[in-house]
Amino acid sequence: MLAITDSATLQGVVAVPVTVEANGGEKGEPRCVLVGLPDTAVKESLDRILSSLANSGYSRPRTRVTINLAPGDLRKEGVAFDLPIALCLLAATGQLPEDSLKDFLIAGELALSGETRPIKGGLSMAMLAQKQGKKGVLLPSASAQEASLLQGIDVFSIGSLAEAVAFFNGEHSRVPIDGEKYQYREAVDHLEEVDFSEVKGQANVRRAVEIAVAGGHNLLMLGPPGSGKSMIAKRIPSILPEPSMDEFLEILNIHSAAGNSVLNEKKFFRRPVRSPHHTISDVGLLGGGTIPGPGEISLAHNGVLFLDELPEFKRSALEVMRQPLEDGEVTISRSAGKITLPSRFMLVAAMNPCPCGYLGDITNDCRCSMPQIQRYRSRVSGPLLDRIDIHVEAPAVRVDDLQDNRLGESSYDIRNRIQKCRAIQAKRYQENKLLSNANITNKMLVKYCKIGTKEAAILKRAMNELSLSARAYDKILKVSRTIADLADSENIEMNHLLEAIQYRSLDRSLIL
């Protein structure tokens, strides 16, 4: 008897359809044969499946059974085929109606007891089932919770093999998960343990951070040790705007494919913030591996990637970020295949001005020689620096500021201004499906970032004196647009432009 159902495997963060076929009653030695280019994890699934069948009260196949995973030229990876293979075996041996499996996409790992375990990419599989016009998708409970946020497809939570059999026999209530109960939105300002009110002094850096977050701009902070760069960066999550549902589904899809559950980590409906150590490899940052998967820049999609001590990162690791910073996606080609991963993130970086950290500090003497300073700064290439919109210096904090017990402006107030600014941008770019000024194209600059004759003359002078590139010209206009939006100004005025220009001053000072 032939039984067929549909499942999926992951390629990057995208689910690819796989048809699971089982043909029972064949002549020969009673055993199960698995074909269809399975990897080691899939081959080992047969032992798990046979144990789960026995422990769930079902009979093992008593004839030769051939199990095929189609298409045959696509490598099958992971443990998500346990449940569909088990159900096909039951249908092929007459223990389950075979016609009932064709209308659903099924995926899930099985324990030896027959219980299901979470899998990677549950949301991606639900998206695939929706495109295929399936009646629904059957997933383990934890994976089903994430997938239920997708509208337009019924997602059923399956806790065990016996429960899946009861579902197809009509003995189990066919009630899909209500995704709305997971769509709660937490007030970020009440959840954060840190607040911008705790930052002493550094008014210029706080202002630069607010502009960067409001427009989604990349930010570089330069200052001596103890000036508060890392402290400020750790408080950026408290002022990040809430993601839209479409943005959050993109975030959830990537983290689900990487095996991270945003729901279980209690980070629901919040933007991701990734902070890798400077010893990270190129693959860890960009993504890839033997089985290509998302790296840190993709896990930071629609969120923030914080790189502390920027020059300490390997030069090759930093350079791989140039294309993702420009295009918002990264393409990885390996022998196992070619995948494209989303990587639209806000880069926040911090660095010292020299190896000892005290160059230009009025309270400490710099002990570095000029060749040492040149070697240190050359670790940050000009092309990478050119892609960072805002450069701001963080001087050492004065003692008077440290002893001032008055609290600064809270994250709640800053976040409210940023939310209003993001709302202005979302309305302006709704036809282009963009959400921030940092992502507008060169063609859109002409329409939305117009400046007057006097402003154009000032910008021309700054370009010549600072030897800025054409990319820096565009960055200045985008930052000016954000500053104008924060001021609720329809036009970019002179003070907006001058403030944006001052955030490019490190272009000249870093390249010695």
- Residue 123's CATH number: 3.30.230.10
Backbone angles phi, psi at 124, to 5 degrees: -60, -40
Give the β-pairing of 346-351 and 273-274.
unpaired
The verdict on residue 332 lying in a domain is yes
Q: Are 71 and 38 in contact (CB under 8 A)?
A: no
| Both structure tokens of 120 | 């990677």
Could you say which of 436, 465, 486 is where a domain stops?
Answer: 436
The verdict on residue 488 lying in a domain is no
| Both structure tokens of 211 | 């502009």
DSSP, res 320: T
Q: Are 78 and 10 in contact (CB under 8 A)?
A: yes
Q: Are residues 347 and 382 in the same domain?
A: yes
Strand segments, DSSP code E, in 238-301 are 273-274, 287-288, 293-294
- Give the span between the Cα atoms of 461 and 405, in whole angstroms: 43
The verdict on residue 377 lying in a domain is yes
Range of the domain at 63: 2-181
Could you say which of 436, 466, 498 is where a domain stops?
Answer: 436
* CA–CA distances in Å: residue 399 to residues 227, 396, 404: 12, 9, 9
Q: Are residues 268 and 359 in the same domain?
A: yes
* CA–CA distances in Å: residue 134 to residues 103, 226, 394, 479: 6, 57, 55, 46
Q: Is the pTM value of this prediction over 0.75?
A: yes
Q: Are residues 309 and 397 in the same domain?
A: yes
Sign of CA dihedral 143, 146, 149, 150: negative
Nearest to residue 43, comparing CAs of 51, 53, 54, 32?
A: 32
Q: Are 40 and 71 in contact (CB under 8 A)?
A: no
Q: Are residues 148 and 193 in the same domain?
A: no
The verdict on residue 506 lying in a domain is no
| Both structure tokens of 328 | 């918002």
Could you say which of 181, 197, 221 is where a domain stops?
Answer: 181
Tens of pLDDT, residue by residue, the chain (512 residues): 899 999 999 988 999 999 999 998 888 788 899 999 998 889 999 999 999 999 999 998 889 999 999 999 888 988 999 999 999 999 999 899 878 798 999 999 999 999 999 999 999 999 999 999 999 999 998 899 889 989 899 999 999 999 999 999 888 777 898 876 655 444 444 445 789 999 988 999 999 999 999 999 999 999 999 899 999 999 999 999 999 888 999 999 999 998 887 655 555 678 999 999 999 999 999 988 777 789 999 999 999 999 999 999 999 999 989 999 999 999 888 766 788 899 999 999 999 999 999 988 888 889 999 999 999 988 999 899 999 999 999 998 888 888 888 888 999 999 999 999 999 999 999 998 888 999 999 889 999 999 999 999 999 999 998 888 899 999 999 999 999 999 999 999 999 999 999 998 776 554 44
Q: Are 308 and 224 in contact (CB under 8 A)?
A: no
- Which domain CATH number covers 313? 3.40.50.300
Sign of CA dihedral 193, 189, 143, 77: negative
H or E stretch including 183? none
Q: Are residues 268 and 406 in the same domain?
A: yes
Q: Are residues 170 and 194 in the same domain?
A: no
Q: Are residues 177 and 270 in the same domain?
A: no
Write the single-letter amino acid at 276. P
- Give the span between the Cα atoms of 339 and 341, in whole angstroms: 7
Backbone angles phi, psi at 19, to 5 degrees: -95, 130
- Give the span between the Cα atoms of 347 and 349, in whole angstroms: 6
CA-atom Rg of the chain in angstroms = 27
In the chain the first and final C-alpha atoms are separated, in Å, by 75
The verdict on residue 153 lying in a domain is yes
What pLDDT, on a 0 to 100 scale, did the predictor assign at position 406?
85
What pLDDT, on a 0 to 100 scale, did the predictor assign at position 144?
92
Give the β-pairing of 64-70 and 32-35.
parallel
Q: Are 96 and 24 in contact (CB under 8 A)?
A: no
**Which residue's structure tokens are 């206009």?**
477
Q: Are residues 208 and 99 in the same domain?
A: no
**Which residue's structure tokens are 């051939």?**
66
- Give the span between the Cα atoms of 385 and 380, in whole angstroms: 7
The verdict on residue 504 lying in a domain is no
Q: Are residues 8 and 36 in the same domain?
A: yes
Split into its structural domains, the chain has a count of: 2
Q: Are residues 256 and 167 in the same domain?
A: no
Residue 138, SS3 per DSSP: strand
Write the single-letter amino acid at 355. P
The verdict on residue 459 lying in a domain is no
Q: Are residues 269 and 360 in the same domain?
A: yes
Sign of CA dihedral 442, 445, 447, 448: positive
Q: Are residues 6 and 151 in the same domain?
A: yes
The verdict on residue 499 lying in a domain is no
